[in-house]
Amino acid sequence: MRNRLLGVLAAAAALTLLVPERTSEAQSQVVVNFGTMAPDGTPWSDQLKSIKSRVEKESAGRVKFKLFLGGSLGAEVEMMQDVVRGERLQGGGFSTGAIGEALDVPVLLLPELPYLFSNTKQADAVLDGVLTKPVTDALATKGITFYAWAENGWRNMGTKGGPAATLEDVKKYKMRSQESPVHLDMWKALGVQAVPKPTTEVLPALNTGIVDGYDNSPLFSLAGGLVQPITHYTLTQHIYQPAAVVYSKKFIDGVPADLKPLLLKDSAGEAARGRTAVRALEKELLDTIRGMGKTVVTPTAEQKAAFQKATLPVHKAFLAKNPALAPLYKAAKDTIAKHP
């Protein structure tokens, strides 16, 4: 009897050696820390939450997203550098200007040339049909995997004490500038004293008088509290600013093969959903700005044309610094011509 019992125990022990050890959920789970300047309750944060929900569901919980909204982990340039390392952050949603500046990727500055686009059809056609592959390739060399376009929108000018509808108007103000050579060159071309500051410092700079104005989209202006200190919001629409959802290439390369497609699924559809959500709010946002007692100013066609003419040298300077991008710039202009 004793020998028989020992035999059963030995057989059971041998069998357990053949059964793979169960890993805990924590060990098998892929964690994605996502950073962004997008405040909670905006279409941008909603889009990231949608991505989180979809991937977590389709991966049956094997992928877990943690969203860090509203710049809680720092300014965009700082977060982008974290994404490259893939340690503190594995991805996020950022403006193209910030990505281009943080990683020295000039092709990402091309769509932000002032007055390159006059409508969103032009912007969409250039981003989707001309720039997606060059941007994807360029970011890969910097340790970033491009996923999908997103949208900040048309940048307009918010100012204290008066409008910014004419060239003479705007020269009166010290304007906060995004830390991008294209943006800084634009202000210089307009004869404006520009103060480069990260997004997290714009509101304090407005409140303390370090700057008299800024430029950004209606959505970010409201979400970031930037409308409160200003008196006028002028619809100059001088820059259409895309954004992008990206991952650390180091992270993506290490993700199990069956999970990687879930993280990169339907990039074109994701871009379309993001654009639609932001654009649908435009009229409501401007009405909200008016409701706060701010004057919303629409420049005349002649006034906008004067801005466009004054900033044309920014295009020439950009191409002089980046001659390899001349064919892409021409392709963009040819595409724009098809969507008047």
User: pLDDT by residue for the chain (340 residues), tens digit each?
Assistant: 434 433 433 433 333 333 333 334 444 689 999 999 988 989 989 999 999 999 999 999 999 999 999 989 988 889 999 999 999 999 999 988 889 888 999 999 999 999 999 999 999 999 999 999 999 999 999 999 999 999 999 999 999 999 999 999 999 999 999 988 999 999 999 999 999 998 889 999 999 999 999 999 999 999 899 999 999 999 999 999 999 999 999 999 999 999 999 999 999 999 999 999 999 999 999 999 999 999 999 999 999 999 999 999 999 999 999 999 999 999 999 999 999 9
Is the CB of residue 123 less than 8 Å from the CB of residue 230?
no
Q: What element of type H or E holds 152?
A: strand 144-159
CA distance 26 to 195: 46
Its domain, for residue 221, covers: 30-337
Cross-strand bridge partners of residue 6: none
Angstrom distances, CA of residue 11 to CA of 3, 14, 21, 22, 28 = 12, 5, 18, 20, 29
Q: Is residue 23 part of a domain?
A: no
pLDDT at 125: 98
Q: Is residue 295 part of a domain?
A: yes
Q: 169: which 2 tokens?
A: 């108007």
pLDDT at 147: 97
pLDDT at 2: 38
CA distance 68 to 63: 16
Q: Is residue 297 part of a domain?
A: yes
Count of domains for the chain? 1
pLDDT at 31: 95
Q: Is residue 262 part of a domain?
A: yes
Q: Is residue 10 part of a domain?
A: no
Q: Is residue 329 part of a domain?
A: yes
Helices (H) and strands (E) in the chain, counts: 17, 9
Please report, for the domain that includes residue 50, its CATH number: 3.40.190.170
Computed from CA positions of residues 244, 245, 248, 252, in that sequence, does the dihedral angle turn out positive or negative? negative
pTM for the whole structure: 0.86
Is the CB of residue 175 less than 8 Å from the CB of residue 157?
yes
